[in-house]
Amino acid sequence: MIKRIIAGFLMAMLLVQSVFTGSVNAANAFNDISGHWAQKSINELASLGIVKGNTKKLFYPDSPISRGEALAMLNRVFEYVYGPVAKPVRKENIDYRYQPRWEIEQLLTNMNTMLQIETGVIGEYDPGDRMLYYLFLSDSGKLIKKPEKQNPEWWLSSSALQRPLSREEASVIFFHMLTPQIFRTANIKPQDAASYFTSYYEWKKESYYRDTYSPYATAIREFNLFTSPTTFNPDKKMTRAEYAVVLKRLLDYYKNQAVLQFQAKGVPQQKISTAFLRAANLAFETKNQAKLLKYYTPAALTSMGKLGLVPLHTDLTGLTVKVDETDGKKLWLIAQYKVGLNGTDQIEYRLDPDPTSTYGRKIAAVVMQK
């Protein structure tokens, strides 16, 4: 009986995924981008569900991108590659009347979780919270730098989120989005992360661009998201087409990094394995049928369904990565989860190479150790 239920679940999941994929591909066409310089990037993002279609099939490529939509699209880029890595947390600083606020809240949670994975600690620095606060300063007509006194009652209104995004604000968004990667190359200790990033807010970092003292564009210059040579035009409003092209570059960077980290040894491999397992177990816990086959083969899903108690993604307490003894291309993730006050459960996940996954791997076997 249980096996029939699992089989039915898998068949339903496959059906839903095929319908979902078809609807995404159908949203690929826009009637107002033919011959546009950004057409290729826009179409690719649309085919992946990052850019949403509408009944009129219009993208408005030369219209400004709003702050709120920019944040929502940024989360879709992240989740296309990595998936949700934690459940979203409600943020009182975002106007509840803003319709896609849940995507922004998910983005903030993903950002904070990825920095925690990178540093290995739960620190006092929250990149998502800081990003919103500095957008609030910008909307208030203030410099995007650390004020003498912080407003404890700050919040982003629905109208503020619907206003156009400037290039300087975009640099602030991507600076905070890339804090794990910036931390990785900064060669600093985890406990120094807060003070390190605060130095940017104090504008103590020298700007590469001659038309702005703001350090954020310089901080992300190594990622080649913007192609400005010596000037950045910080006050210019970003068009939807310009933002789509930048997102496409970020998407390519994320996809490349996810695969390269799995190929690396030691700490980088363990960190990407942690992100992968958090996303995979969260998809299983929430029964996210659109994402489950991104992480699991059907056989692995059957094994997961037979576990007496599926571990919650937040309960991961230890992770060891080992190469399979018979095939060097396969990896074993050995995870230990808290059970009660003093006990632990050990579950071993075998990751096989799979080019259809944005991680380059899928869980192909799940073994519960008694």
Q: Alpha carbon of 212 to those of 23, 64, 131, 222, 232: distances in Å?
A: 43, 21, 19, 17, 7
What pLDDT does 268 receive?
92
Q: How far apart are CA 211 and CA 56, in angstroms?
A: 39
For residue 249, give the H/E element and its range.
helix 240-263
Q: What is the pLDDT of residue 135?
A: 97
Which pTM does this prediction carry?
0.91
Residue 71: name the closest of 156, 194, 154, 153 by CA: 156
pLDDT of residue 370: 67
Residue 161 confidence (pLDDT)? 97
As a whole number of angstroms, the distance between CA 268 and CA 10 comes to: 33
Distances (CA, A) of 134 to 71, 156, 168, 173, 235: 14, 10, 11, 9, 15
CA distances for 32 relative to 53, 149, 164, angstroms: 12, 46, 20
Greatest CA span in the chain, whole angstroms? 69
Tell me the C-alpha distance between 73 and 339, whole Å.
Answer: 38
Q: Are 239 and 339 in contact (CB under 8 A)?
A: no
Angle in degrees, CA 103, 109, 115, rounded to 5: 135
Residues of the chain with pLDDT under 50: 1-28
- DSSP 3-state helix, strand, coil percentages of the chain (rounded to 5)? 50, 10, 40
Tell me, what DSSP letter sits at residue 220? T
Locate the domains of the chain by residue range: 1-62, 64-263, 297-369
